Amino acid sequence: MSAGGGGAGEAAVGVQRSERSIRKGAGMALLLLVLLLVPRFANNYYLEVLSEAWLYVLLCLGLNIVVGFAGLLDLGYAAFFAVGAYTAGIVTIRLGQSFWLSLPIAVVTATLAGVIIGGPTLRLRSDYLAIVTLGFGEMVRITVRNLAITGGASGLVGIERPHLFGYALHSIGAFYYVFLLLAVLGIVASHRLENSRIGRAWKYVRSDEDAARAMGINHAAVKLAAYALGAIFAAIGGCFYATKMTAISPETFTFNQSLLILLGVVLGGRGKIPGVILGALVIVIFPELFRDVGSMRMLVFAVSLLLIMLFRPAGIWPERWR
Amino acid sequence: MKRRTILAIAGLFAFGLGGAGPAHAADIKIGAQVPTSGSEAPYGIDMLNAIRMAADQINAKGGLLGEKISILPGDSACDPQAAVNAASKLVSENITGVVGGYCSGATLPTLKVYGDAHVPFVITASNSTELIGANPGNAFMINSTGFDQVKTAVALFKAKGIKTLSIINEGDAYSANLAQLTRKAWEKMGNKVVDYEVVSKGQQDFSPVVTRIRERHPDAVFWTAYYADGALLIKQLRQGGYTGMIALGDGNNSPKLFQLAGAAAEGVYCFSNPTANFLPAAKTFIADYQKQFHQPPGPYSALSYDGMMLMAHAIKVAGSTDKMKIIAALKATHAFPGIAGPISFTKENTLARSNFVVLLGKGGQWTLYTGPGAPAAP
């Protein structure tokens, strides 16, 4: 989505470039139009699966900020997803407030959670960092399983469906649009972040932290920003997940969930936004494609993941390192 | 390299899409929502087999309303999101009704999916009390709920002279629900719960739990979660020198428990919904099942068979595949003769009687316990 940046001087190159970006823009618009029209043709099952896919696009893009851009391995990402989902549940059920209020609160709690996990781990690298984040993910899950306010092991049941301009978000068709919008916003935000000053700082820290510090990059602030922003993506996804399912329980936020999201990022190609989107689609849609295989479903899914990793070790659509 | 990748992926897609043959359009389609993947798959497949067998028997006798029944499996994988996907897929395939439901946590969000489409749902295994309040009115539970299990458990503990209890669960909706209800009932009677533990699913090493239990030496240990982990716990408790009574919730009634726990499972009690081998009316059912699937029926097979038969009965009474009429017919069910006992429903669409029995591990298998504290036969 490079802006038509050709200057007046380099006329020929500029024309070529703008032509390409127009073609690209037209392709995007057409794709978006098709996606917007899907609910007119698809049945509830397809909408259900696609909504889940858009949710995972958002989650994977969030984790991609941490793992892909900043190069910090995170094995507890589901914790931030849980923070969002439980914030929505507590705000609507326990406090009796509107669902929309839970969004800003979730952003705040997720930022806090991101800083809490990011703070103590600033000096940790690779495997050590992975283990601490893994522990953090389990801590959050076990905490919500044992607190009264989060409903303990049964979780929270009966989360209200929100209203928007007097129109209740109730049908799966409406949720399809909500999750599609979230995914699009996630893509745009990821793009803007990647090409921003902080995005470049993340990549610098990823490539060589010591060199980055020597060049005057505040590595602590940069890393904390990555955790916090990644957490916000997951928390917003979690809010809408909670209201769509109307019931949440700690079982949804296990280590397997963190692993699945990480799988999407690595499978697609970490650091590369289109790759991550593809990865997210693969982890959601493949198991559904294999539903008719029956009991062998997960085996087929696993074999297909192995094949992808064998033939595309850097991911389906890897980042080109500059 | 690139072409090979594309070929591999294309091959996978073709494999995925070309799976099972579709059902005939004119059939009466019944969904079977059971876990056929993941840790609970053995139970789910036992249920699916029984539902299929019931449908086959009805079809062999000329079908229903002149049409054949076809069973569409929906894999819930014991996970809420996967279960909602499976339920939506079944609804989109225009099923007339659904039979099944295992893992209460996964069944819960599907109630709304079926409720919105007014699809009648006979729940044959899930029995968390959370399901009662979330039921939009189209679901019918033919398995006794946690309340009945707690009554059975407490009666047995009392008859056995138990005073102090340790309750261990896995923190999922089903096992935590049962544990909490038991604790409440037990403490209300003036007894003590000296130890209340939540362990993780799939945990291999229970030594912290065993140490704590040896310290507090409760008269009985009550495990409310499923058999795969329960077997390890029993083994480690006995190896750790615990000699008191061990009781297990209804997720443990499986012959596999004895393969995993070995001699440690001797003398262990288990509360269970009635499984086929303890039901006098199920003799032909067991023989038929053994013949068709070359293995004995599982713990929820008999109830799932009943569930399918009940659904077929309701369709027959309704005289059409009109879903509202079928729901009305299910609601009006009175003393339907299931092999697990007569089925009638309360106002909340739950089974009108308790169907729990007490089992005792003896000689490497479950046997029906009829000593003091056992519930009266239906």
Residue B45 has its nearest CB partner, among A245, A295, A308, at: A295
Q: CA A149, CA A151: separation in Å to the nearest integer?
A: 5
| Mean pLDDT, each 10-residue run in order, chain B (378 residues) | 49 42 67 87 90 94 91 87 88 92 87 91 88 91 89 92 92 83 92 90 88 92 92 93 92 88 93 84 91 89 94 94 94 91 92 90 90 76
Q: In terms of domains, do B174 and B258 share one?
A: yes
- The answer to whether B75 faces chain A, any CB pair under 8 Å, is yes
Q: Specify the pLDDT at position A193.
A: 94
Residue A155 has pLDDT above 90, yes or no: no
What one-character DSSP code corresponds to residue A167? E
In B, residues 161-190, which contact A (CB 8 Å cutoff)? 169, 171-173, 175-177, 180
Q: Specify the pLDDT at position B3.
A: 52
Q: Specify the pLDDT at position A64.
A: 94
Q: Is B378 part of a structural domain of the chain?
A: no
Which helix (H) or strand (E) covers residue B359, if one does? strand B357-362
- The answer to whether B21 faces chain A, any CB pair under 8 Å, is no
Q: Specify the pLDDT at position A152.
A: 76
- Selected for mutation to probe chain B from A48, A144, A306 (highest B CB count within 10 Å) is A48
Residue A165 has pLDDT above 80, yes or no: no
B36 phi, psi to nearest 5 deg: -110, 5
Bridge-based pairing of strands A167-168 and A163-164 is antiparallel
Residue A311 has its nearest CB partner, among B4, B108, B180, at: B4
What residues are paired with B247 via a beta bridge?
A: B222, B269
CATH number at residue B169: 3.40.50.2300
Q: In terms of domains, do B261 and B169 share one?
A: yes
Q: Is B66 exposed, middle or buried (0-12, 13-18, 19+ CB in 10 A)?
A: exposed
Q: In terms of domains, do B72 and B30 share one?
A: yes
Cα maximum dimension of chain B: 72
Q: Is B186 part of a structural domain of the chain?
A: yes
In B, residues 249-278, which contact A (CB 8 Å cutoff)? none
What residues are paired with B20 via a beta bridge?
A: none
Contact B334, B344 (CB under 8 A): yes
The whole-chain average pLDDT of chain A stands at: 86
What one-character DSSP code corresponds to residue A119? G
Q: How many separate domains does chain B show?
A: 2
Q: Copy the structure tokens of residue A129.
A: 């960092």
**Tokens 């079944």 correspond to what residue?**
B90
Contact B228, B207 (CB under 8 A): no
Contacts of A293 in chain B (CB under 8 A): 15-16, 19-20
Nearest CA in chain A to B37: A295
| Closest approach of A119 to chain B, Cα-based (Å) | 28
Could you state, in order of their start, the residue ranges of all structural domains in chain A? 43-253
Q: Specify the pLDDT at position B130.
A: 80
Q: Copy the structure tokens of residue B65.
A: 């309303």
B44 phi, psi to nearest 5 deg: -65, -40
* Stronger pLDDT, B286 or A150, i.e. the higher one: B286
Q: CA B101, CA B74: separation in Å to the nearest integer?
A: 10
Q: CA A255, CA A24: separation in Å to the nearest integer?
A: 38
Q: Is B9 part of a structural domain of the chain?
A: no
Q: In terms of domains, do B79 and B126 share one?
A: yes
Task: Tell me what the mean pLDDT of segment A188-200 comes to.
Answer: 93
Report, in angstroms and rounded to the nearest whole number, the Rg of chain B calculated over CA atoms.
21
**Could you tell me which of B308, B271, B340, B298 has the C-alpha nearest to residue B43?**
B298
Contacts of B105 in chain A (CB under 8 A): 155, 249, 251
Q: Copy the structure tokens of residue A172.
A: 């799966």
Q: Is B374 part of a structural domain of the chain?
A: no
Per-residue pLDDT tens for A118-135? Answer: 888 887 777 888 888 999
What one-character DSSP code corresponds to residue B117? T
In B, residues 286-305, which contact A (CB 8 Å cutoff)? none
Q: Contact A289/B105, CB-based, under 8 Å? A: no
What is the DSSP code string of B55-86?
Answer: HHHHHHTT-BTTB-EEEEEEE-TT-HHHHHHH
For residue B244, give its domain range.
Answer: 147-272+357-368
Q: Contact A311/B91, CB-based, under 8 Å? A: no
- Report which listed range, A3-12, A259-268, A299-308, is most confident: A259-268
Task: Tell me what the mean pLDDT of segment A107-111 comes to.
Answer: 95
Q: Specify the pLDDT at position A161.
A: 81
Q: Specify the pLDDT at position B10.
A: 46
Q: Contact B92/A44, CB-based, under 8 Å? A: yes
**Could you tell me which of B370, B377, B372 has the C-alpha nearest to residue B156?**
B372
Contacts of A311 in chain B (CB under 8 A): 1, 4-5, 8
What one-character DSSP code corresponds to residue A57? H
What one-character DSSP code corresponds to residue B39? T
Which helix (H) or strand (E) covers residue B223, if one does? strand B220-223
Q: In terms of domains, do B250 and B316 share one?
A: no
- From the CB of residue A23, how many other CB atoms can be counted at a distance below 10 Å? 10
Q: Copy the structure tokens of residue B257.
A: 């428990």
* Stronger pLDDT, A44 or A141, i.e. the higher one: A141
Q: Copy the structure tokens of residue B163.
A: 């005073």
Per-residue pLDDT tens for A22-81? Answer: 888 888 889 888 888 888 888 888 898 999 999 999 999 999 999 999 988 889 999 999
Q: CA A157, CA B239: separation in Å to the nearest integer?
A: 40
Contacts of A145 in chain B (CB under 8 A): 171, 198
**What is the b/e burial string over A259-282, where b = at least 16 CB atoms within 10 angstroms of the residue's CB?**
ebbbbbbbbbbbbbbebbbbbbbb
Residue A91 has pLDDT above 90, yes or no: yes
Q: CA B145, CA B131: separation in Å to the nearest integer?
A: 9
- The answer to whether B103 faces chain A, any CB pair under 8 Å, is no
Q: In terms of domains, do B231 and B306 share one?
A: no
**Tokens 């941490």 correspond to what residue?**
A66
Contact B351, B333 (CB under 8 A): no
Q: Specify the pLDDT at position A311.
A: 87
Q: Contact A311/B1, CB-based, under 8 Å? A: yes
| Closest approach of B104 to chain A, Cα-based (Å) | 10
Q: In terms of domains, do B173 and B218 share one?
A: yes
SS3 B31: strand
Q: In terms of domains, do B167 and B263 share one?
A: yes
Q: CA B325, CA B173: separation in Å to the nearest integer?
A: 32
Q: Contact B85/A289, CB-based, under 8 Å? A: no
Q: Specify the pLDDT at position A124.
A: 78
Q: In terms of domains, do B63 and B175 share one?
A: no
Q: Does the CA dihedral B86-B89-B93-B94 come out positive or negative?
A: positive
Contact B183, B218 (CB under 8 A): no
In B, residues 83-102, which contact A (CB 8 Å cutoff)? 84-86, 88-89, 91-93
- Selected for mutation to probe chain A from B3, B7, B12 (highest A CB count within 10 Å) is B12
What one-character DSSP code corresponds to residue B363? T
Q: Contact B105/A251, CB-based, under 8 Å? A: yes
Q: Is B130 part of a structural domain of the chain?
A: yes
Residue A252 has pLDDT above 90, yes or no: no
Q: Copy the structure tokens of residue A212.
A: 């980055």
Q: Specify the pLDDT at position B18.
A: 38
**Could you tell me which of A306, A313, A286, A311 has the C-alpha nearest to residue A297?**
A286
Q: Is B349 part of a structural domain of the chain?
A: no
Q: Is A321 exposed, middle or buried (0-12, 13-18, 19+ CB in 10 A)?
A: exposed
Q: In terms of domains, do B55 and B171 share one?
A: no
Q: In terms of domains, do B201 and B238 share one?
A: yes
Q: Copy the structure tokens of residue A96.
A: 């009796």
Q: In terms of domains, do B106 and B162 share one?
A: no
Q: Is B251 part of a structural domain of the chain?
A: yes
Question: Could you tell me the end-to-end alpha-carbon distance of chain A, in angstroms, rounded to an integer?
Answer: 18
**Tokens 């493949």 correspond to what residue?**
A286
Q: Does the CA dihedral A102-A103-A108-A109 come out positive or negative?
A: positive
Q: How far is CA B239 from CA A88, B207, B210, in A?
A: 45, 10, 9
